[in-house]
């Protein structure tokens, strides 16, 4: 899966501009899909039909990544910006960004790193311009972090692991899925980073019997990390609770039973802050029993998010086990 992950994480896809990611996924999914469509908001929905008698299942992994949008260009050509999603000031000074037109810029903080973090209002993008007239970007242009994937022993690091790693797990599970009684709708959703909007729309249209989001979660295994019972390399996490949702107890039991049946190591996740597509899926229409499969990830929303490759492989094994068999809890 490494080549697939590299292709996905290095693609350009801030919230609202996920088309490049969607095309990559569409090209790989079409050989095994029974139907592929894009809805009005931009979600890519891939259907794998079951043999009958199963449930209508929705799997959701979001394609978008955090980004920024140019809001002002000063007389010297420096671009001010607003965040698109949760852009942390602590990791932005010196970060490189890439715009849709290929322009690369450097973020810097007017208060600079020696004086403290300041705020995003103190930051600007240097694109090499000397005035507004020779700026290669304009007001309203959107950028994402520019950072390639690298291997750190058994770990992988890149921008946009959140949530291209979830997309990779869902896509690989689709490619490996044998005959199943369940009709499975793999939704590669848009605009999660700005309010889980894509998944909400997709769930309303699909009306699933059960749903599982695939996303990243936080970590508790670095020096002085906040106490959290999640470690990289100990398996994918089955969510119990996060800042926006309580996982359906039956769905959680189904996921745990599937992990044990497949011999996949797993962790139980209680995340204090943050949420995922599962938040809006579970309240669609009359409500959907919903859970979340999480890939433990260090340094979330930074230019260098880190996952353990074995956790990714085990998350894929678990998803295949969940979908290939009758669902009950």
Q: Distance (Å, rounded) from C-alpha 53 to C-alpha 14?
A: 39
- What are the residues facing 48 on neighbouring strands? 184
Strands in the chain per DSSP E:
35-38, 44-48, 56-62, 67-73, 79-84, 96-99, 104-109, 123-126, 142-145, 150-152, 155-158, 183-189, 210-217, 237-241, 267-270, 290-298, 305-308
Structure tokens that stand for 45 in this block: 């929905």
Out of 192, 193, 269, 305, the active site residue is: 192
Active site (annotated) includes residue 193: no
For residue 65, the 8-state DSSP code is B
Q: Distance from first CA to last CA of the chain, Å, rounded? A: 31
The radius of gyration of the chain's CA atoms, rounded to the nearest angstrom, is: 20
- Within the chain, where are the H helices? 2-9, 19-29, 161-176, 197-206, 249-262, 278-281, 309-324
- Find, among 284, 300, 280, the residue nearest to 292 by Cα: 280
- What are the residues facing 293 on neighbouring strands? 214, 238
Q: Distance (Å, rounded) from C-alpha 179 to C-alpha 104?
A: 45
12 within 8 A of 144, measured Cβ to Cβ: yes
Q: Distance (Å, rounded) from C-alpha 79 to C-alpha 70?
A: 6
Within its chain, how far is the Cα of 124 from the centroid? 26
Axis-axis angle for helices 2-9, 19-29 (nearest 10)? 150
Residues belonging to the active site: 192
């Amino acid at each position: 899966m490494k080549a697939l992950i590299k292709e996905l994480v290095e693609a350009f896809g801030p919230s609202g501009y996920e088309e490049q990611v969607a095309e990559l996924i569409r090209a790989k999914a079409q050989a095994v899909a029974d139907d592929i469509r894009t809805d009005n908001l931009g979600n890519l929905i891939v259907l794998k039909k079951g043999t009958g008698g199963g449930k209508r299942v929705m799997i959701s992994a979001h394609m978008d990544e955090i980004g920024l949008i140019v809001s002002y260009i000063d007389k010297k050509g420096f671009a001010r910006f607003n965040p698109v999603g949760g852009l942390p000031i602590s990791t932005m000074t010196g970060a490189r960004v890439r715009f849709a037109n290929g322009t690369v810029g450097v973020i810097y903080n007017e208060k600079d790193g020696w004086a403290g973090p300041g705020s995003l209002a103190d930051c600007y993008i240097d694109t090499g311009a000397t005035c507004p007239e020779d700026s290669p970007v304009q007001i309203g242009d959107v950028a994402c972090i520019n950072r390639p994937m690298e291997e750190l022993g058994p770990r992988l690091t890149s921008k946009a692991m959140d949530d291209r790693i979830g997309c990779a797990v869902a896509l690989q599970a689709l490619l490996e899925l044998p005959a199943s009684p369940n009709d499975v709708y793999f939704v590669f959703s848009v605009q999660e980073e700005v309010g889980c909007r894509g998944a909400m729309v997709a769930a309303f249209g699909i009306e699933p019997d059960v749903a599982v989001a695939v996303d990243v979660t936080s970590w508790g295994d670095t020096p002085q990390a906040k106490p959290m019972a999640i470690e990289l390399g100990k398996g994918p996490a089955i969510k119990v609770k996060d800042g926006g949702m309580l996982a359906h107890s039956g769905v959680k039991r189904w996921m745990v039973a599937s992990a044990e049946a497949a011999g996949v190591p797993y962790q139980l996740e209680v995340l204090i802050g943050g949420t995922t597509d599962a938040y809006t899926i579970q309240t669609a229409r009359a409500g959907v029993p919903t859970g979340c499969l999480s890939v433990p990830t260090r340094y979330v929303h930074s230019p260098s998010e880190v996952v353990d490759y074995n956790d990714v492989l085990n998350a894929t094994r678990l998803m295949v086990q969940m979908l290939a068999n009758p669902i009950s809890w």
